[in-house]
Structures are given as C-alpha cells and as structure tokens.
C-alpha cells in the first residue's frame, strides 16, 4: 500500500512541475554571424542577424527588428595573427545597405552588411571580433586562410598566351583539386580601372549555370575560343559605362571554389541530413551562433589575353564605349 502511495505522490509532483514549466525560456539575445573570407575577392562581408524562437515564425519575420539589427549598431573588426602574435592594426568593417537582397520572407529595408576592401594576407590566421555598441555583447572566432594568392597577386602578369600552356596552382589541400569534380566553375575577367589618379582592381565573374546562353571557351587556339562574342556581350552588361574612367584588360582565370576545414565540415553536415528543413547546429562563433570560415577560388586555368582579343575589347561592338585600352596602350 505504501508503495502505491509513494508512486502517486511522485506522479503528482511531476505533473505539478510540468504545469509550472515555461514553454520558452526567457528572452536572451543570441546573434548569428556569417563570414566567409576569400583572398581572391576585392571585398569581404560580415552578416549579423538575430536568432529568435516563436510560435508564429511568419509573424516575427514581418517585423524587421526581429531578425536584423539597426544600421551600424555593431563594431566589426578583423585581426591578423601569425605564430600567436597579432600583426598590424585591425581591419575595420563598415556597415552598408548597398547590397540588394532577393525577395522573400527575410527581405527587409534594413538589410545591413559589414564590408571591408582590405586585401587579405594568405600567410596569416584571422580573428573576427564583433561588439554590439548598445548591449555590450562581444563575439569572436578564428579561422585559417586557404591558398597562396590574394586579389593583389591575382592581377600579376603570370598568364600564358596559348590554351596548351594552361596550368594550375600548386596547393597543399586536404580535398580534391580535380577540376572535373566541381560543377560550379567560375570564369573571372580581371581588369584595372584608372579614376582620379587612383588604380582599382576589378573583376567580373561568370557562373555557367546562371548564364546558360554563354558558350564556354573550348581548347582550340582561336580568337573565338579565347573569348566568344557572347562573353563580350555579358561583360558589357556587367561593367558600367563611365566616360571618366579608363580601363585595362588584364586576363581571364577559370576557377572553382574549395573550402577550409570549418566550411567543409558544415557543408558535409548539411548534406548528410535527410530532412530538408533541418539546419545542422554547427557553430564556431563564441557567445553566438554562425560560421566564420574561408573559401578560396582555386585557379586551374590562367590565360593572358592576346593582342587581337584586347583590341576586340577596346574597339568591338559590345565594349567600345567602356574605354578599354587597345593592345598599344591607347584609349579612344
């Protein structure tokens, strides 16, 4: 009899305790940070959002402050480290609203990103530090940089004239570097802009899957094979016409993207799930959630533009108004 009384009392205590439990814990600010560094990009971005939990998720999404922060409320810095010592001054990121976002539930007016145009040093590790200037919350994470070349070295004149002389980078990498294993290959056109006594490194990327009408160059050593006319038309749509800017074509690189250890692990965890709505709870952000990692455009082909191609860019029907120099270095 005593046994049954004891069991009954335990059941009553459990039921009472369950009734007092809150369905959701008290609100606590949990920022979500995403940053994928790429040494071969001219600009690096950091995205910071809010993590939230609600019964009606769609209602919260419609309120911008539920998922985003005010403009400039975060202080974002990138530190360079080598052998346990910090090198130089931190790289400061500035807030921007200039990057448009595709339409959808999470599209808001205050789509804030933090950007930096400082080139990355591929011989260093990087520490990302973010501080909320209103609440004092501080986040940090560390990652290593992939590859040997950055956006500056990519513009060096190391390309060859003929398709038969294509070469790949030499890189110690844990994954595959066989170009046929990657679907998303990028053809990058590099050029220089001269404006108000300053020189800017620019590029235009073409992603074959996003531009199915553009014919990929073949391996024959002809003018059309190096850059087909569809490619010139594509460049003319991407590069703005500005009579005050002078330009010089540098070359074309064919690349595919590889990931460092953190990003590689995140991608594998995401692809391993059988539930399409499940997002793996992988994070390397201290005091928050998200991912700070590095990807790298591995160059399999490097090509220098021939004089005929440079003259076609300068005088041809598609780019003649973009002020590219001809093969003799003259602008028109």
Q: Does 250 score more than 80 pLDDT?
A: yes
Q: Are residues 187 and 313 in the same domain?
A: yes
User: With bands split at pLDDT 50, 70 and 90, how would you rate the model's confidence at 96?
Assistant: very high
Q: Are residues 218 and 176 in the same domain?
A: yes
* Residue at 273 is within a domain: no
Tens digit of each residue's pLDDT (9 = 90 or more) over 47-94: 998 876 655 555 565 566 667 888 899 999 999 999 889 999 999 999
Say if residue 99 is in the same domain as residue 141: yes
Convert the pLDDT of each residue in 266-289 to its tens digit: 887 766 655 555 555 788 999 999
Q: Does residue 220 share a domain with residue 314?
A: yes
Determine the average pLDDT of the residues in 83-109.
81
173 closest CA partner among 263, 261, 253, 300: 261
Find the helix packing angle between 229-238 and 307-315, rounded to 10°: 50
Residue 253 or 236, more confident: 236
Q: pLDDT grade, residue 1 (50/70/90)?
A: low
Instruction: Say if residue 319 is in the same domain as residue 209.
Output: yes
Domain that holds residue 326: 150-258+297-332
**Same domain for 43 and 138?**
yes
∠ CA 227-229-233, nearest 5°, is: 110
Q: Is residue 268 part of a domain?
A: no
Q: Is residue 278 one of the residues assigned to a domain?
A: no
- Which one of 91, 118, 145 terminates a domain? 145
| End residue of a domain, out of 145, 179, 208 | 145
331 and 225 share a domain? yes
Residue 281: what pLDDT?
73
Q: Look at residue 38 and tell me if it is in a domain.
A: yes
Going from the C-alpha of 145 to that of each of 121, 142, 200, 280, the distances in angstroms are 8, 10, 23, 23
This model's pTM is above 0.85: no
Q: CA–CA separation, 93 vs 70, rounded Å? A: 15
Asked if the structure places residue 270 within a domain, the reply is no
Are 35 and 162 found together in one domain?
A: no
Q: What total of structural domains would you count in the chain?
A: 2
> Same domain for 217 and 323?
yes
> By CB neighbour count within 10 A (0-12 exposed, 13-18 middle, 19+ buried), where does 22 fall?
exposed
Confidence tier at 299 by pLDDT (50, 70, 90): confident
DSSP, res 245: -
CATH number, domain containing residue 51: 2.60.40
| 35 part of a folded domain | yes
């Amino acid at each position: 009899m005593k046994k049954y009384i004891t069991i009954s009392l335990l059941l009553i205590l459990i039921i009472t305790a369950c009734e007092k439990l809150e369905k959701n814990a008290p609100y606590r600010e949990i920022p979500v940070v995403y940053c994928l560094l790429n040494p071969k990009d001219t600009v690096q971005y950091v995205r910071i959002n809010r993590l939230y939990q609600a019964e009606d998720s769609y209602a919260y999404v419609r309120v911008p402050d539920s998922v985003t922060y005010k403009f400039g409320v975060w202080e974002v810095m990138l530190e360079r480290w080598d052998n346990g010592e910090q090198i130089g001054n931190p790289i400061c990121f500035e807030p921007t609203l200039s990057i448009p976002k595709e339409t959808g539930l999470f599209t808001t007016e205050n789509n804030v990103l933090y950007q930096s145009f400082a080139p990355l040093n591929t011989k260093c590790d990087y520490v990302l530090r973010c501080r909320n200037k209103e609440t004092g919350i501080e986040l940090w994470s560390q990652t290593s940089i992939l590859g040997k070349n950055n956006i500056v070295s990519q513009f060096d004149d190391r390309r060859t004239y003929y398709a038969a002389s294509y070469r790949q980078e030499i890189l110690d990498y844990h994954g595959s570097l066989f170009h046929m294993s990657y679907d998303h290959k990028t053809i990058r056109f590099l050029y220089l802009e001269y404006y108000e006594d300053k020189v800017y490194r620019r590029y235009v990327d073409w992603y074959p899957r996003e531009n199915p009408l553009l014919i990929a160059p073949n391996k024959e050593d002809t003018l059309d094979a190096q850059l087909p006319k569809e490619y010139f038309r594509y460049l003319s749509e991407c590069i703005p016409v500005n009579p005050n800017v002078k330009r010089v074509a540098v070359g074309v690189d064919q690349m595919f993207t590889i990931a460092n250890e953190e990003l590689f692990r995140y991608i594998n965890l995401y692809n391993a799930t059988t539930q399409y709505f499940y997002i793996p709870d992988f994070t390397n952000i201290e005091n928050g959630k998200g991912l700070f990692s590095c990807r790298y455009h591995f160059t399999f082909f490097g090509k220098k533009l021939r004089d005929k191609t440079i003259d076609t860019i300068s005088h041809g029907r598609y780019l003649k108004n973009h002020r590219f120099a001809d093969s003799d270095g003259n602008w028109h």
